[in-house]
């Protein structure tokens, strides 16, 4: 059966959370160490991470977490149509010209757009409206990721042709429970693949960047003659969305973001970063040891809120990619999503999370 059209799954005019997966062609090791040839392409993983950080500073899209593997990437993205709607026309034009500059500086960075270049967009209402829509479109984010990395990689290898095996896979996350499980699944990908033993050694993941920031913060508390230098360093995870959200405190609508590194400062889970990382660390140990130990008592309410015991939690994190297909969520959420898409599918089978997979 052919895949659904992207426009029927993703709506750039709505706030949606989507798990995106993009694989290299033939699942080759084009982003890591190729065991057949012995060639190392590890540096391309840094290309991808840096590209994601750049896109986060341009798009009205929050990157919640990510994982760059040797032959594929995982992203959890949240489109922010409410943020792009709050931007002025000139802001939209400037951001678009950062993404697709007419001119570049000597170092290859986008040149500051001139007034005539801005007017080319501002004086055409239909073009301006289309640019505004695209800046909150997850498909355009993925396109700007894939095309850039493919061009650089093909130029390095002196070849032509496909770098990615096809269009990216999109999986809509319908509620906080599915988002928590998916975030853990993405952050623990290197551990499941036996590339790392703990989250703090899982390179090129959102969890690793957050942990590095915590370590840096602890270092700042120690006496040092170089504190002034540390204070100038930018947080590695500062381009991603914060983890914790408090609906009672956080303002409704687009949150103010002054750093210019991300679309907003909205969190996405009702748990603190410390609790999330602790749950991640505990889960990773169970996945590697293939047994479930005792979870700290203060973390149990997190699992209780989504109606899951420790065995079920580890099982669904391990099998998330096989359990969920088009969307992930509770039966109620899935029923609503089926109605939104105008389709008749509902719950195909129950899984350990108490959800149904489709």
Q: How many domains does the chain have?
A: 1
Higher pLDDT, 194 or 56: 56
The answer to whether residue 24 scores a pLDDT higher than 70 is: yes
**38: pLDDT strictly greater than 80:** no
Question: Quick check: is 357 in a domain?
Answer: no
pLDDT, one tens digit per residue, over 55-83 is: 999 999 999 999 999 889 999 999 999 99
Report how far residue 277's alpha carbon sits from residue 313's, in angstroms, rounded to the nearest whole number.
Answer: 15
Specify if 207 maps to a domain.
yes
Return the H-helix or E-strand segment holding 72.
strand 72-79
Across 295-323, b (16+ Cβ under 10 Å) vs e yields beeebeebbeebebebebbbbbbbebbeb
In a domain, 358, yes or no: no
pLDDT in tens, 199-230: 888 999 999 999 998 877 655 554 443 332 33
Helix axes 115-122, 89-99, angle to 10 degrees: 110
Cα 25 to Cα 42, 49, 150, 152, 166, distances in angstroms: 17, 19, 11, 15, 8
CA 226 to chain centre: 33
pLDDT digits (tens, 9 = 90+) for 141-184: 999 999 999 999 999 888 888 899 888 999 999 888 889 999 99
The reply to whether 346 falls in a domain is no
How many other β-carbons are positioned within 10 Å of the β-carbon of residue 197? 13
Write down the pLDDT at residue 195.
Answer: 86
Q: Which two tokens stand for residue 50?
A: 């840096």
- How far apart CA 202 and CA 190 sit, in angstroms, is 6
Tell me: pLDDT of 95 over 90: yes
CATH of residue 109: 3.30.70.1290
pLDDT in tens, 260-293: 899 999 999 988 888 898 888 888 877 766 555 5
pLDDT at residue 94 greater than cutoff 60: yes
- Whether 141 is covered by a domain: the verdict is yes
Range of the domain at 280: 6-341
Domain membership flag for residue 356: no
48 in any annotated domain: yes
Q: Select the more confidently predicted residue: 256 or 349.
A: 256
Q: Are 64 and 180 in contact (CB under 8 A)?
A: no
Tell me, what's the pLDDT at 194?
84
**Cα 219 off chain centre by:** 28
* DSSP assignment letter at 245: -
Share of the chain above pLDDT 90, in %: 43
Query: How would residue 198 be classed by pLDDT, with cut points 50, 70 and 90?
Result: confident
**Assigned domain for 347 exists:** no
């Amino acid at each position: 059966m052919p895949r659904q059209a992207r426009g029927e799954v993703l709506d750039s005019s709505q706030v949606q959370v989507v798990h995106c997966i993009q694989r290299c062609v033939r699942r080759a090791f084009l982003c890591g160490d190729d065991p057949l040839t012995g060639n190392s392409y590890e540096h391309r993983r840094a290309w991808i991470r840096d590209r994601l950080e750049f896109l986060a500073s341009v798009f009205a899209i929050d990157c919640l977490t990510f994982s760059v593997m040797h032959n594929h990437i995982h992203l959890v993205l949240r489109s922010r149509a409410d943020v792009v709607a709050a931007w002025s026309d000139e802001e939209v034009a400037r951001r678009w010209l950062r993404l697709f500059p007419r001119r570049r500086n000597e170092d290859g960075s986008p040149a500051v757009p001139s007034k005539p270049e801005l007017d080319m967009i501002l004086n055409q209402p239909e073009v301006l409206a289309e640019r505004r829509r695209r800046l909150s479109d997850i498909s355009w984010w993925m396109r700007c990721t894939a095309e850039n990395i493919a061009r650089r990689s093909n130029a390095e290898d002196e070849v032509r042709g496909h770098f990615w095996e096809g269009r990216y896979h999109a999986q809509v996350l319908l509620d906080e429970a599915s988002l928590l499980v998916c975030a853990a699944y993405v952050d623990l990908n290197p551990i499941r693949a036996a590339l790392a033993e703990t989250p703090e050694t899982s390179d090129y993941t959102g969890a690793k960047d957050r942990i590095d920031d915590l370590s840096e913060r602890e270092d700042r508390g120690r006496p040092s003659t170089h504190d002034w230098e540390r204070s100038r360093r930018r947080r590695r995870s500062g381009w991603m969305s914060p983890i914790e959200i408090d609906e009672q405190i956080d303002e409704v609508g687009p949150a103010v973001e002054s750093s210019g590194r991300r679309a907003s400062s909205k969190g996405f889970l009702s748990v603190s970063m410390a609790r999330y990382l602790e749950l991640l660390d505990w889960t990773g140990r169970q996945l590697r040891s293939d047994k479930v130990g005792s979870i700290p008592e203060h973390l149990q309410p997190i699992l209780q809120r989504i109606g899951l015991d420790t065995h079920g939690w580890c099982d669904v994190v391990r099998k998330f990619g096989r359990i969920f297909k088009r969307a992930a969520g509770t039966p109620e959420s899935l029923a609503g999503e089926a109605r939104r898409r105008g389709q008749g599918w509902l719950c195909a089978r129950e899984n350990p999370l108490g959800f149904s997979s489709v």
